[in-house]
Structure 1
Amino acid sequence: MSALSQTHALKHLVDTDATWRLLRADNAPVIAALLSEHLGAESRRLPTDELYERLDHDLEALRGHGFELPQSAQGYCAEWRKAGFLTRRPAEEARGETFELAAGALGAIRFLEQLAAPRQTVTESRLASIGVQLGQLAIETDPDATRRLEQLHAQRDRIDAQIERIHSGDLDTLDAARALERVRDILAQAEDIPSDFARVRAEFETLNRDLRARIVESDDTQRTVLDEVFRGVDLIGESDEGRSFAGFSALVLDPAVGATFDDDIERVLARDFAGELTSAQRRYLRRFIGTLKDHSGEIHEVITAFARGLRRYVQSQDYQRDRVLRGLLRTALAAGVEASGHTRPYQPTTLHLELSAVALGSVGAIRLHDPADLDAGAPIEEHVAGVADLEALRALARATEIDFAELIGNVNAVLAEAPQCTVREVLERHPVSQGVASVVGLLTLAANQGTAPGGIETVRWLGSDDRARAADIPIYRFTGRLL
């Protein structure tokens, strides 16, 4: 490829690729950090309302540190979806929609993470992995049976020699540093899987759109796609992408493979060198095969939904309507091109077009009519000031305050007949006039000016509702005149 053609290809990539678009965005650090925090870890799909709430909280914190972020979370999410960083889909388990990272955003975040924490690319483990895969590929693709048998015999001899060394006690285990290097290399490859799944889903969506476009744009002499759908051919499942994913999914869903994979992970994480891994890395490895199964199931549902939708689209004859609409649009465009030579685009016409439906708008702009908004409220009442009633004021004071003057007089009256008395004796000779408030007042006076010899006594009185009341209180004695 020449420099000129490569320049044009890269220029097209700059304009169309979401990964490059995110990396050269003005707020690329903010975008990558927010999306990675909320959609790049274990929760790769969130309801729109929950994501808005989380992002609004983070945006407030960022503004407090000097970042200029004038929009709300909902506004930024709309921009990021339009730029290809986010994918919005209908929620499967509840009403509403969800957001998840698009393949381009996953690739950009992965690239930035590698820049922030670079890993060694030239390692023994990576070279050994390439060598094993290359050797296996050479054996499995060799058409010469003799040479293939020689390679297999040599491989068997190496395994037999290794078995003999182990039987003889020569057990050579991998040292901790090299083992840690290999497991980190495995993690680096495993962390690329989510972006691969997002890319596969995007490829199936593109394939579905292309097949529908081919059905609409093909005429009666080009009915290949249409005829295959009528014959029941699963064009999505039989495509190159579908067959490739089917092979991968069969391997992931194989119970024997899954059990072996989980067992190997548990044994590796039980080694001493695994202590150097972070808790997130260990958790990622333990959940890796389950994550693959979940993503594989989602892709299977997408393939099934696209295949059924395509078959329904053809069998319901909806494509005929779209063909007619396509023909009318092309006719209108051709007429517009022809008229553009002698008619200005802004030239007024006498054509009056009646819309067949109401104008489109956001439901959030609709406000219901509330008659209560026009209600002036209850009429204003005017209260005329009058002369205060002394007896009414006294009654109000007795209802809100304890009459200590009356209680002191009652205690002193009993003490005039006896050298000492208790609260119960005062209440027996002078019934309360304020209910339990009088009892509380007597206890307050006794605690402040009486003595407490110890013991319990029962006091009785009539409440304000003329019902008998009783309570056990500590014994207090009044031994002198109250002041």
Structure 2
Amino acid sequence: MSALSQTHALRQLIETDATWRLLRAANAPVIAALLSEHLGGESRRLATAELYERIDHDLDALRGHGFDLPQNAQGYCAEWRKSGFLTRRADEDTRGETFELAAGALGAIRFLEQLAAPRQTVTESRLASIGVQLGQLAIDTDPDVTRRLEQLHAQRDRIDAQIERIHAGDVETLDPARALERVRDILAQAEEIPSDFARVRAEFENLNRDLRARIVESDDTQRTVLDEVFRGVDLIAESDEGRSFAGFSALVLDPAVGSAFDDDVARVLAGDFAADLTPAQRQFLRRFIGTLKDHSGEIHEVITAFARGLRRYVQSQDYQRDRVLRSLLRGALATGVAASAHTKPYQPTTLHLELSAVALRSVGAVRLHDPAELDATAPIVEHVAGTADLAALRALARETEIDFAELIDNVNTVLTELDVCTVREVLERHPASQGVASVVGLLTLAAHQGTIPGGVETVRWQGSDQAARAADIPIYRFTGRLL
């Protein structure tokens, strides 16, 4: 590519790419900081009202420090959505709308984070990872059976030699500095996953629009897409993007892979070198597989919704209406081009169009005004505010919420005596002070920060009616201090 063609390509990229647009925005630091704080962490999606409230609070603090930010949160979010930094979607659960970061904004935020805290790019772990993947690719793609067997035998000999050294007592482990380097390199690669999921979702949205456009624009002699939809072919899932994501999802949802990953994370975090990791990094590793499963489930829902919508669009014959509308629009444009030779755009016309200023609605939606509804028949009762009792408020809080702070202290206390412990062992040493709520709280902590080795154990507690109760639960193990 010549310098001229590359310049034109980059110029078009600057004008169309959201990542470039955010990086060269006038308030780029403010935009990146606000979006990263509220949508770049564990909360990847927020309701519009909640995001407006949070950003308005931050805008007040920024204005107090001299930043010129004349608009409110709603105005800025509308501007950021138009610029491609935010994606607004309908929420079927609340019948409202939500905001999430677009792929371009995620890429810009990750780029700025790397500038603020640059990572060492030339590392032993990265080179070793590339070498392992390259060697495996060479084996898997080599059609020569003899050479492929030689490579596999060489791998086996190296593994056998390592096993013999371990049997002989020659055990070598990585020093803490190299181990910490590898963990951080793994974290750097894992942090790119949210951006990848956002790009995957954008690719499926573009594919859905492209298929609909092909249906509308195709004529009777080009019925490939229509015929496949009528035959029940899922064009979304059968596309290159769909097949690629299906392979990734199958690997993520494999129970063996998830269990092995959890065990590996537990062993890594138990090492002395892991003490140099931040609590956020440790928690990110523990929840990594669960996060992948959540994102994978969202993409599956998107694929299913697009496939159903495309099939309904074809089977309901709605595409015929869009074809007629497209034909009329093209005819009007052609007529306008012909008329432009002798008619100016600003020439007055005799056409008079009455625009309605009244919203159209069904007669059944009209509600008659009843003055009796405004009558205050009940006497007004005055309630005098009293002084709050701290002990009563604490007791009320314990009745309505699980005391996670107490449960975390109980688990960490038991871990000072034992290397690992289960939910039953915690309850034996620290009885459930809140009854079944304490049991539920321990199970919640174990599901997020523990491991599942398999099996069933019996836990016992005393209910609020002082009756002894028991239940069989899956075995969860706490292998490290809770955060």
With normalisation by structure 2, the TM-score equals 0.74
Letter in 1 for 2:321: R
Deviation at 1:369, TM superposition (A): 13
Q: How far apart, in 2, do the equivalents of 1:140 and 1:92 lie?
A: 45
| 1:105 aligned partner, one-letter code | A
Larger relative contact order, structure 1 or 2 (CA cutoff 8 Å, min sep 6): 2
How far did 1:5 drift?
1.0
Paired residue for 2:276? Answer: 276
Specify the alignment match of 2:413 in structure 1. none
| 1:267 equivalenced with 2:267 (yes/no) | yes
Deviation by residue 1:19-63 (Cα, 9 ceiling, x = unmatched): 000000000000000000000000010000000000000000000
What residue is the counterpart of 2:115 in the other structure? 115
Match of 2:331 in 1: 331
Amino acid at match of 1:328: L
- The 2-side partners of 1:270 and 1:319 are apart by 59
**Distance between the aligned counterparts of 1:112 and 1:359, measured in 2?**
49
What is the distance in 1 between the residues matched to 2:370 and 2:11?
Answer: 59
Three-state SS of the structure 2 residue aligned to 1:346 is coil
1:46-85 equivalences in 2 (<5 Å)? 46-85=46-85
Does the C-alpha gap of structure 1 residues 245 and 95 become closer, same or farther in structure 2, counting only changes over 3 Å? Answer: same
Letter in 1 for 2:208: N
The residue correspondences of 1:314-463 to structure 2 (distance < 5 A) are: 314-355=314-355
Aligned residue identity for 1:199:
R
In structure 2, C-alpha distance between the alignment counterparts of 1:195 and 1:56, rounded to whole Å: 26
Distance in 1 of aligned mates of 2:330 and 2:166? 76
Q: Counterpart in 2 of 1:132?
A: 132
SS at 2:89's partner residue?
strand
For the pair 1:203 / 2:203, whether they are aligned, the reply is yes
Q: Distance in 2 between matches of 1:6 and 1:293?
A: 40
The corresponding residue for 2:96 is 96
Cα distance in 1 for partners of 2:340, 2:358 equals 28
Aligned residue identity for 1:315: Q
Letter of the 1:66 partner, please give it. G
Q: Which residue of 2 aligns with 1:393?
A: none
Question: SS at 1:37's partner residue?
Answer: helix
Residue 342 of structure 1: CA displacement?
1.1
Q: How many angstroms apart in 2 are the aligned matches of 1:369 and 1:110? A: 56
- 1:93 Cα deviation from its structure 2 partner: 2.0
Distance in 2 separating the partners of 1:358 and 1:125: 67
What corresponds to 2:287 in structure 1?
287
Partner of 1:26: 26
CA distance in 2, matches of 1:320, 1:369: 42
Aligned-residue Cα RMSD (Å) equals: 1.7
Alignment partner, residue 144 of structure 1: 144
Quote the Cα distance in structure 1 between the aligned partners of 2:202 and 2:214.
18
* Deviations 1:211-236, CA, capped at 9 Å, x for gaps: 00000011111111111111111111
Q: Deviations over 1:239-298 (max 9, x none)?
A: 000000000000000000010011101110110000000000000000000000000000
Question: Per-residue CA shift, 1:46-104, capped at 9, x if unaligned?
Answer: 00000000000000000000000000000000000000000001113212111000000
Aligned to 1:156: 156
1:82–1:369 Cα change, 3 Å: farther
Q: Write the distance in 2 (CA, Å) between the matches of 1:54 and 1:222.
A: 51
Residue 352 of structure 1 deviates from its aligned partner by: 2.0
CA distance in 1, matches of 2:342, 2:260: 75
Q: Which residue of 1 aligns with 2:253?
A: 253
In structure 2, relative to structure 1, the CA distance for the partners of 1:360 and 1:28 (3 Å cut) is farther
The residue number in structure 1 matching 2:229 is 229
Distance in 1, matches of 2:7 and 2:55, equals 38
Residue aligning to 1:432: none
Q: Which residue of 1 aligns with 2:87?
A: 87
Aligned to 1:304: 304
Q: Is 1:186 equivalent to 2:181 in the alignment?
A: no
Q: Deviations along 1:111-164, whole A, 9 cap, x unmatched? A: 000000000111000000000000000001111111100000000000000000
1:301 and 1:22 map into 2 onto residues whose CA distance is 29
Q: Which residue of 2 aligns with 1:454?
A: none
**1:36 and 2:36 matched:** yes
Question: What does the per-residue CA deviation read over 1:152-187, in whole Å, with 9 as the maximum and x for residues that have no partner?
Answer: 000000000000001111100000000000000000
Equivalent position amino acid for 2:239 in 1: S
Aligned AA (1:114): Q
By how many angstroms is 1:358 displaced? 5.2
Measured after TM superposition, the shift of residue 15 of structure 1 is 0.7
In 1, Cα distance between equivalents of 2:348 and 2:175: 83
Match of 2:168 in 1: 168
Give 1:359 shift. 6.8
SS at match of 2:26: coil
Distance 1:272 1:206, change over 3 A: same
1:199 CA drift (Å): 0.3
User: How many Å separate the matches in 2 of 1:112 and 1:306?
Assistant: 34
Which residue type is aligned with residue 196 of structure 1? D
* Residue equivalent to 2:376: none
The whole-number CA distance in structure 2 between the counterparts of 1:62 and 1:343 is 54
Q: How much identity, in percent, do the aligned residues show?
A: 86
Alignment coverage as a number of residue pairs: 365
| Bigger radius of gyration among the two | 1
TM-superposed CA distance for 1:354, in Å, is 4.1
Measure the CA separation in 1 of the matches of 2:271 and 2:142: 38
2:427 maps to what in 1?
Answer: none
Structure 2, unmatched stretches of 5+, are 361-366, 372-483
Question: For residues 359 and 190 of structure 2, what CA distance do their matches in structure 1 show?
Answer: 46
Give the TM-score, by structure 1 length: 0.74
Distance in structure 1 (CA, Å) of the matches to 2:262 and 2:15: 43
Q: What is the Cα deviation at residue 360 of structure 1?
A: 7.7
Q: Is the alpha carbon distance of 1:217 and 1:370 closer, same or farther for their aligned partners in structure 2, counting shifts above 3 Å?
A: same
SS in 1 for 2:249: helix
Equivalent-residue separation in structure 2 for 1:90 and 1:341 (angstroms) = 46
